[in-house]
Amino acid sequence: MDTRTYSLECGYSHVQDLRKAGHQGHIVILTQADSCPELRKTIVSVLPEGSTCNGKDWETPDGSKVMIRATTDTLDTEVPFALRVCVGGQKLEAKEAENVRIWRDKALHF
């Protein structure tokens, strides 16, 4: 399985598993920048009917958000969130690794 496919499946599965378990809080998926648009399109199938996307984040009818971010993105939320890093074993640049560390430090769990 290539890195991109793994990253998409990782993000999709994580959102699906959390939703099945009854998680109603916010979720952040960190992945490669080039996987973000496709992952945003893919996860809609595991979100409840009535979920909306503003082009960056999905919001469910209960108000929880699924935020897809690139490893190059800096922390941009203050809300509590569950985190999954989906990079398919790809080696991160120093700045990306630092961003991931900052996201992990703020996450409720990952």
Mean pLDDT to the nearest integer, 7-21: 89
Q: What single-letter amino acid sits at 16?
A: Q
CB 45 within 8 A of CB 8: no
94 confidence band (pLDDT: 50, 70, 90): very high
Cα(32)–Cα(27) distance, rounded to whole angstroms?
Answer: 17
Q: What pLDDT score does 110 carry?
A: 58
Q: What pLDDT score does 13 carry?
A: 92
Mean pLDDT to the nearest integer, 47-65: 93
